[in-house]
């Protein structure tokens, strides 16, 4: 067995079902950052309410200020006028804008109010418009993700738990920390700024962690998301195409 990043063509004695040529043994050299990443981390932020005084938007904007102070380039998508998923063609301007921002991003923040115990439709609709694959491109795979929620009443974690599930489904690296702000109407002043509190400090913690994890993972996600099953599938297609041309 070759311990330097792959295996020889000989069968692996105790793993007979594995194709040795597709079995990669990770090492630190392969985790070196690939590409030029001198630009600031690119963070896309999504929020989940269309109300004029939307607390999920206010929390998102507060988090954006923190990220910008840390050194990130931040873009906030406005979900107003984004049609329901699959109700219009994919070339709708708002759909194109959202998908382009997703491709541009290296990390994301999702923030939703809790509606009937779960994620608001406005936020879920944005996620539903982001496909797992666009040809050979996976718009969300390998991005870092931070999740936040606002509550009208007592503190809950229903939304952030659901957003974590969605992030995993979208093949994103969701950071361990999260923010849940109870009775959000008490946490923002008339100017829409978040008041000092332990909840505010938690938002700082979450954005700091997201920024660090994005710095750590960008330039390495192609390797980190390279999977044995997919290498195997690609090789099978190559062999099949070669046989078909004989």
Q: What is the pLDDT of residues 38-76, one digit of tens each?
A: 999 999 999 999 999 999 999 999 999 999 999 999 999
Provide the token pair at 102: 């997703």
Question: What confidence tier does 94 reach under pLDDT thresholds 50, 70, 90?
Answer: very high
| Percent of the chain clearing pLDDT 70 (strictly above) | 96
Contact status, residue 34 vs residue 220, Cβ threshold 8 Å: yes
Q: 192-202 pLDDT, tens per residue?
A: 999 999 999 99
Contact in structure between 141 and 225 (CB atoms under 8 Å)? yes
pLDDT(11) > 90: no
**103 pLDDT more than 50:** yes
Locate 231 and state its tokens: 């290498």
- Asked if 132 contacts 170 with a C-beta cutoff of 8 angstroms, the reply is yes
CA distance 50 to 149: 15
pLDDT for 30 equals 86
Q: Of 146 and 8, which is predicted with more confidence?
A: 146
pLDDT-derived band at 6 (thresholds 50, 70, 90) equals: low
Of 233, 12, 220, 20, the C-alpha closest to 106 is 220
Residue range 133-154: mean pLDDT, rounded = 91
DSSP state for residue 71 in the 8-state scheme: T
Distance from C-alpha of 47 to C-alpha of 184, rounded to nearest angstrom: 14
Question: Which residues on neighbouring strands pair with residue 45, listed in sequence order?
Answer: 76, 109
Residue 237: alpha-carbon gap to chain centroid: 29
CB-based contacts of 175, cutoff 8 Å, min separation 6: 144, 145, 146, 206, 209, 210, 213
Mean pLDDT of the chain: 92
Is the pLDDT confidence value at 160 over 80?
yes
Whether 10 and 33 have beta carbons less than 8 Å apart is answered as no
What is the C-alpha to C-alpha distance for residues 160 and 156, in angstroms, rounded to an integer?
9
Domain ranges (residues) in the chain: 42-223
**CATH fold group of domain 42-223:** Rossmann fold (3.40.50)
Rounded Cα–Cα distance for residues 76 and 63 (Å):
11
Q: What is the mean pLDDT of residues 223-244?
A: 83
pLDDT band at 9 (very low <50, low <70, confident <90, very high): low
| 35 C-beta neighbours (distance < 10 Å), count | 9
Tell me the C-alpha distance between 149 and 59, whole Å.
9
0.85 surpassed by pTM: yes
13 has a pLDDT exceeding 90 = no
């Amino acid at each position: 067995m070759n311990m330097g990043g792959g295996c020889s063509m000989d069968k692996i004695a105790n793993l007979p079902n594995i194709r040795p040529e597709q079995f990669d043994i990770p090492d630190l050299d392969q985790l070196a950052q690939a590409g030029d990443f001198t630009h600031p981390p690119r963070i896309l932020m999504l929020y989940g309410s269309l109300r004029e005084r939307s607390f999920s938007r206010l929390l998102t904007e507060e988090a954006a200020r923190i990220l910008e102070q840390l050194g990130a380039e931040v873009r906030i998508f406005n979900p107003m006028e984004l049609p329901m998923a699959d109700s219009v063609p994919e070339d709708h301007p708002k759909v194109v804008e959202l998908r382009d921002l997703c491709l541009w991003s290296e990390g994301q923040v999702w923030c939703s109010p809790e509606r009937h115990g779960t994620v608001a439709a406005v936020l879920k609709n944005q996620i539903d418009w982001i496909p797992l694959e666009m040809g050979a491109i996976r718009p969300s795979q390998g991005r870092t993700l931070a999740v936040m929620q606002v509550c009208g009443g007592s503190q809950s974690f229903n939304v952030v738990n659901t957003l974590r599930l969605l992030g995993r489904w979208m093949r994103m690296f969701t950071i361990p920390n999260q923010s849940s702000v109870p009775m959000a109407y008490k946490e923002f002043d008339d100017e829409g700024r978040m008041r000092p509190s332990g909840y505010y400090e938690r938002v700082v913690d979450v954005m700091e962690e997201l920024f660090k994890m994005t710095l750590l993972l960008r330039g390495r996600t192609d390797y980190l998301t390279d999977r044995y099953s997919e290498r195997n599938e690609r090789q099978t297609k190559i062999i099949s195409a070669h046989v078909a041309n004989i």
